[in-house]
Amino acid sequence: MKTTLERAKEKIHERTVSNLQDLLERTYDAEAGYKKAMELAKDPNYEEFFMKRAANRAVFATELDQEIRNLNETPIESGSTKAALHRGWMDTRAWLSTSTDEAILEECIRGEKASLDTYNEILVDESFNPELRNVLMNQMLQIRRSLDTVKDLKATEEVVNSF
């Protein structure tokens, strides 16, 4: 029979792993989303930006994968079905839209905001060790910077399209 302390530690472990698996799944989704955006972008500068964002998310995935393994658990290996459907919607929207790059940037903004929301929700959990918390905070900061950049790109695209 487990003690109360053992059960509490087990629950913390399970919650930590669950949170990291959720972040990993969303990171795979974001990486795939940026790769899709790269394929659909007309502007070569956007293609390069999206490629760098996809590579950045691959680094995040590696970090999260390692953190899960450090907890003696097996990381998930792919993103969600819902995100795959969303990328299909990006294809359709890009095909129908007269301002493809603007529509893609809007979808990237939506995705980055969703990522930030997830990190904010998960980081409320006080049970992360300091090293793991630092990894997650660093990733969240990079997402916030990416969101700001995408918003700037979209604003520029809107100005260009208004002429």
CA 102 to chain centre: 20
Tell me how far apart the alpha carbons of residues 49 and 39 are, in angstroms, rounded to a whole number: 12
Domain segments of the chain as ranges: 4-161
Distance from C-alpha of 51 to C-alpha of 39, rounded to nearest angstrom: 9
Q: What is the pLDDT of residues 19-36, one digit of tens each?
A: 999 999 999 999 999 999
Report the alpha-carbon distance of residue 79 to residue 85 in Å, rounded.
Answer: 11
Give the pLDDT mean for 5-20.
Answer: 93
Tens of pLDDT, residue by residue over 114-163, are 999 999 999 998 889 999 999 999 999 999 999 999 999 999 888 877 77
Cα 77 to Cα 75: distance, rounded to the nearest angstrom: 6
Tell me the CATH number for domain 4-161. 1.20.1260.10
What is the distance between the alpha carbons of residues 137 and 54, in angstroms, rounded to a whole number? 19
pLDDT tens column, 49-87: 999 999 999 999 999 999 999 999 999 987 555 655 554
Question: What pLDDT score was predicted for residue 80?
Answer: 59
Distance CA 125, CA 23 (A): 14
Rounded Cα distance, 32 and 87, in Å:
8
Q: Looking at residues 13-18, what average pLDDT do you find?
A: 95
Q: What is the pLDDT of residues 102-122, one digit of tens each?
A: 889 999 999 999 999 999 999
Tell me which of 91 and 101 has the higher pLDDT.
101
Of the candidates 121, 122, 119, 112, the one whose C-alpha atom is nearest the C-alpha of residue 145 is 112
